Structure 1
Amino acid sequence: MNYVNYLTSVGKRVHGDILHIDDLVESHIQKQAKSVDIHWRNVDALVAIQGSRIRTAILDCKLGIIGVQETPIRLLKQMLNQYPVLSYRKLKLINGYLEINEYKPFVYGGVGFAPLKATKGKNSSWISTTNIQDHAEMDHTDTMHISFDNCSSPIEVKISEYFLKKRKRAVSQVQRFHDAMHAQYEVASTEEYQNAYTHYKYGMFPEDPMAFELYALEAVQDL
């Protein structure tokens, strides 16, 4: 997959051999859809577009670039509706509990998206940190080439390596929280809970279900 192949002729002249997501605009996008059945494991990024017909460019490693009318955060919220186990509010509470107070990731269903910087009043673009294969810092300041698992060519993003590492760490932190909490809830409802070693093993987890429940309760009371 090379996302440049899914640009219009105008877009190809602007971007050259590598897609620069910060320079992507509506007139560069070849394919538009009123609705799309998103397979989230295939999505490498959701690029915010300030267009009259396109609000998001979906970078899909199987389908290329697809322009849609919904904003990136709207698409991410729709993911929850496909299998609504956690609410968007619950995901925000988890970020708050973990003290992730800015650039809050969206982690659900085995995928993790991190928001990128956006100018005031504009929507943020989101990148799938779980799909990143490699990255390299360019000579010019705060610019990265990011490669994804199923893409032959990287994309260019105007962020620093430090910023990217912080976003990847936040996604990993939330994913670990999900995994640890689910494991503890599951063991508490099975016979495995009666095993003394199980008590010891899960007692070593830094993630504390009761502490989170208390935090969530206090957050509701503060509303």
Structure 2
Amino acid sequence: MRPDEIASALRRAFRERAIAPGQALNQDELARRYGVSRIPLREALRTLVGEGLIIMRPGLGAVVTELDAGEVQELHGLRLQLEPPLAADVVEHLGRRDIDDLARLVGAMRILDAEQSEEWSSLNYRFHRRLYELSGRRHAVRLVVQVLNLVEPYARVHAHVLGSRPQMQQERVDMVQALRDADAGRVRELIEQSIRTAREELVASMGSLPMRDGSDV
């Protein structure tokens, strides 16, 4: 495996909580898992350090980033700045086939049962990535994906531990309809609503912090 392939595999493991936040990474074990030497593995880890997904701690080495309530709030504030403004570009660039692809993802999410939480969240992540990629704003999307990767382990807690999956599913259904209607304002509203709700419920579950109003918000 090349360093970029190792980094991609580790991102997925972090998103899916197969390697949990706060967990120390054993480089020998990872090298065996991926069938690589320590050199490409170290290069991949340096990439992930740069993305904020892991940190280097004295005595422990590489550790998966674990967010506190303030960081969850900050990252969702970044999401509010980055994601809603993409709505107009998404609506402008998407075609019927793109909408149908997104609708298929939402339909596949809908038929999964309660035990298939990881499959549901993986489809939900794919939905968001595909949605934003349709904007054509490559640099903005790169930043969005970096933030999504940081918050995804917590998004899964929001969906399946805090019981928000039904509400999130309905939001995705509403999003597809807004895309079919070419209603950029409604798309933006749904994106904002989803981010704000996730932030409020996650922060409340992690400890009480004052919620700020404003553009970040």
Both proteins in one fold, TM over 0.5: no
What TM-score results when the alignment is normalised by the length of structure 1?
Answer: 0.24
Q: Which has the higher strand share?
A: 1
Q: Which has the higher helix share?
A: 2
What TM-score results when the alignment is normalised by the length of structure 2?
Answer: 0.24
- Structure of greater relative contact order (alpha carbons < 8 Å, 6+ residues apart): 2
